[in-house]
Amino acid sequence: MLCFPRWRDGERDPERGQGNKIIEIVWTGIPFAFVAVLFVLSARTMGISDPPPPPKPDVVLIGHQWWWEVRYMNSVAVVANEIHIPVGKPLALRLDAADVLHEFWVPELARKIKTVPGHPNHIWIQADKPGTYLGFCWEFCGTQHAWMHFLLVTDPQAEFQQWEQAQRAVLFRSLRRGAGIVVQNVSESSATLIAGFS
């Protein structure tokens, strides 16, 4: 409408106007309202899709050259290269790296997220049905990077609890055996030391 020429012979130039407050308020207010609505919608969606992590994560995942360490914070179970999670429960994962950059990725269940030495990252993960998924390290992290796969197994709640308790029992058995070996070694070396002095 503004570009359409309306000129007839003998007609005077139209009046020039400037500083029309109403027009300025309208053409500033409408885009501002659009941007404000988009901002609120985006902030709300971001909060729903990736909520802030809790102070204590459920699982800590540590990338090593070239394997994954998985620590369950509630049960103190520790496993490697096989992550189990319960179906229907969102879990907060904290991701650390022991040596170099790695990247956690389960294409069917979780987005890519880097593990950075000294800078923990966080991600929420939730499964809706039982299954087994293949996960990868997606950051070149050294000569054996291509083999740095892992399994993500989603269990029904009761099965997950059984699995977690079993892993915890394995850990405690190993610790007890380790403590026994230390005690035995200490007493053997003490005996050798005492024999050497006597």
Q: Does 114 bind Cu ion (CB under 5 A)?
A: no
Residue closer to Cu ion by CB (options 31, 117) is 117
Smallest gap, in angstroms, from Cβ of residue 103 to Cu ion?
A: 7
Nearer to Cu ion by C-beta: 114 or 168?
114
CB 141 to Cu ion: min, Å: 3
Strand partners, 149: 136
SS (HEC) of the chain: CCCCCCCCCCCCCCCCCCCCHHHHHHHHHHHHHHHHHHHHHHHHHHHHHCCCCCCCCCEEEEEECCEEEEEECCCCCEEECEEEEEECCCEEEEEEECCCCEEEEECCCEEEEEEECCECEEEEECECCCEEEEEEECCCCCCCHHHCEEEEEEECHHHHHHHHHHHHHHHHHHHHHHHHHHHHHHHHHHHHHHHHHC
Interface characters, 67-96, with Cu ion (x: CB under 5 A): ------------------------------
Q: Do residues 113 and 121 touch, judged by C-beta distance below 8 A?
A: yes
How big is the site for Cu ion, counted in residues (CB under 5 A)? Answer: 5
State which residue, 94 or 102, has the beta carbon closest to Cu ion: 102
For residue 64, state whether it binds Cu ion (rule: CB under 5 A): no
Q: Is 135 exposed, middle or buried (0-12, 13-18, 19+ CB in 10 A)?
A: buried
97: contact with Cu ion by CB under 5 A: no
Stretch that binds Cu ion, among 53-61, 87-95, 113-121, 146-154 (CB under 5 A): 146-154
Residue 148 binds to Cu ion (criterion: CB under 5 A): yes
Segment lying near Cu ion (by CB under 5 A), choices 3-11, 17-25, 100-108, 178-186: 100-108
Is 141 near Cu ion (CB under 5 A)?
Answer: yes
Residue 102 Cβ, how far from Cu ion at the closest point, in Å?
5
Among 137, 150, 152, 155, binds Cu ion (CB under 5 A): 137
Contact set with Cu ion (CB under 5 A): 102, 137, 141, 145, 148
